[in-house]
Chains A and B, each alone.
Chain A
Amino acid sequence: MSDIRSTWANRVSDRGILYLFLLPTFGLLLFLVVFPLIWSLYLSFCEYSANAAKPPIFTGIQNYGSLFREKEVWDRFVTTGRFVFLAVVMEFFLGFFIAMLLNREFYGKGVLTTLFILPMMFSPAVVGKFFRFMMDANWGIINYILGVLFRIPKIAWTTSYEYALYSVVITDVWIWTPFMVLLSLAGLSSVPRYLYEAADVDRASGWFKFRYITLPYVAPILILAVLFRTMDAFRFFDVVYVLTDGGPGYATQIIPFYIYKLAFSFWRTGRSCALAYILLIIIIALSNIYITYLNRLRRA
């Protein structure tokens, strides 16, 4: 035993381990997340342009005030809201439907499920880029198929005011429906089989079984899924960048993209920091609900 005790490792106390193990994590977080956040909070109260030689001038809440007054900022919030709502609702129903179909025993279930999961694992930027190719008005495959099957005239998916937002929504739905499938499946498989058997004995209707057996078991996990997707949709950026570049006009400039434009195209650093903070508060509020919910599920 003496050889073990003589090493330096033995002299590290429990407290010591705690600090030793947590230090790198929190050091990195402080350096690359907390510090930039504080800095951008300061900048959000300043009139400042990062590419000008002038230092930041403190202007108080002027940036926030002007953001709330301007119509074009509100328009972008409305666009963001429409995008988030449309995408999450479509993903929810489509994902739950696919999960219901997958929720039975058959040969090759695992492989089939994983195939449905795949799009979620791909890089959204790469997917968005390729969807731009497929959605091209003139030679895109999507218009061609729609034309052959349903005789729909060619649609300018990514370049028209009417359809650009839908093209973004469709791409997001393609990427993230698997998430809903995955979580719905987890919920569905948690329903005890004997409940259905008991209901069969009582000759309960299919609707009754769904409403009073399936739904109560699946609901908590579905709420979690919807919360997560909502939160994530608010930070959606890559696909807009590659698919429509915010256009036409600002038809698809959702808030994260607008922040990017303000910061790196218009160089209105102070203003972009203020908008980033408004978005941050929305996301932190949502993630607070999400994490509380997550912890509750974890303990259950």
Chain B
Amino acid sequence: MVVLVVMLCIYLFPIYWMFSTATKSKVEAFALPPKWVWKPQIDNFRNIFYAGAGGALGRVRGIEVKPQPSAFLRQLSNSVVVSFVSTILATFLGALSGYVFSRMRVRGKDDLLFVILSSRMLPPVAIAIPLVMMYRALGLFDTRFGLIIMYTVFNLAFAVWMMRSFVDDIPPEYEEAALVDGYSRFQAFFKFVFPEMRVGMVATAIFSLIMTWNEFTFSLLLTGEQARTAVPSIAHSLGTAGVNWGHIAAGSFLMVLPVVVFTFLLGGNLIRGFTFGAIKE
């Protein structure tokens, strides 16, 4: 038990350090030996949302510098919009396909499922070149819409497998009874099966949301100024010397915080998600 707690402390140290760096002043963050006691401040969290942050705010040489919203604010809002829209799309389409794969006879079902899951396993760089060319040709490059459809595909494979496993758990008697009562298959699905899939859809959606929120490569390659999401922009300030690590820590912490909440919400469905519905707890 003691071993366990010690290991947990070592293990979670980077998260603590992220928080501490984010709430320290610039001097404190680089102090060696490190400051274990400090006065927490929220400057870093405030400054990442304003352009020219890092001291340029307020009065500079007698001229009032009005705070301008920074690029990070736009990128964060891109992250929110893109992840929510693509999650909703992927979960809904995944629910439809998952239902078909669970209940109906489909020719070459195993092969189709294999193709779907393989698309999730692809290294993004493997299809990046033609994708970038295609996106530029179609005017999808650097648009939220382009990123949304990419993430929808990216999450769809996961959603199909996940929803199939959840539909497997719903007794087929539900829709059979409805069919006997004279409902069409279509109505039976939306009136009786679909509501039963709620729990599964919530779990699938949370997973998709986290994955999209965290995604780096596609956003790096398929966007420029306008549609870039927050993760690649945090990551992209390369080099160690001239980088404001307090800001990076604050940005990182903001990215990580919702994920912590959502992970706790997932609870018992974690293992199911990571094995694409194969192992249930």
A272 touches B129 (CB 8 A): yes
Contact for A25 among B93, B126, B213, B232, CB less than 8 A: B93
How many Å lie between the Cα of A13 and that of B104 in the bound state?
12
How many Å lie between the Cα of A17 and that of B119 in the bound state?
24
Q: A43-B129, A133-B21, A269-B129 are in contact. Are A287 and B1 (CB under 8 A)?
A: no
A21 touches B116 (CB 8 A): no
Q: A130-B18, A280-B126, A287-B121 are in contact. Are A144 and B34 (CB under 8 A)?
A: yes
Which of B53-61, B64-72, B248-256 is the interface stretch? B248-256
The interface residues of chain B, by DSSP majority, are classed as helix
Residues of A within 8 A of B271 (CB): 182-183, 185-186
Range of interface residues on A (Cβ < 8 Å): 35 or more
Contact for A125 among B189, B231, B263, CB less than 8 A: B231
A14 touches B32 (CB 8 A): no
Residues of B within 8 A of A18 (CB): 100, 104, 106
Residue of A nearest to B279 (CB): A186
How many Å lie between the Cα of A136 and that of B150 in the bound state?
35
A237 touches B123 (CB 8 A): yes
Q: A21-B100, A125-B232, A237-B217 are in contact. Are A114 and B127 (CB under 8 A)?
A: no
Q: A18-B100, A186-B271 are in contact. Are A32 and B34 (CB under 8 A)?
A: no
A32 touches B153 (CB 8 A): yes
Residues of B within 8 A of A238 (CB): 216-217, 235
Q: How far is the CB of B110 from chain A (nearest CB, A)?
A: 7
Contact for B186 among A9, A36, A174, CB less than 8 A: A9
B128 within 8 A of A: yes
Q: Mark A107-144, 1 if CB is under 8 A from B, else 0.
A: 00010101111110111111111111110100101001
A residues engaging B (CB < 8 A)?
1, 4-5, 7, 9-14, 17-18, 20-22, 24-26, 28-29, 32-33, 35-37, 39-40, 43, 50, 98, 101-102, 106, 110, 112, 114-119, 121-134, 136, 139, 141, 144, 148, 174, 179, 182-183, 185-186, 221, 224, 228, 231, 234-235, 237-238, 241-242, 245, 256, 259-260, 263-264, 269, 272-273, 276-277, 279-280, 283-284, 287-288, 291, 294-295, 297-298
Beyond A21-B99, A28-B149, 16 additional contacts (C-beta under 8 Å) are: A4-B184, A9-B187, A17-B100, A21-B97, A32-B153, A101-B3, A118-B15, A121-B214, A121-B263, A133-B248, A141-B34, A234-B123, A235-B121, A259-B125, A283-B122, A297-B278
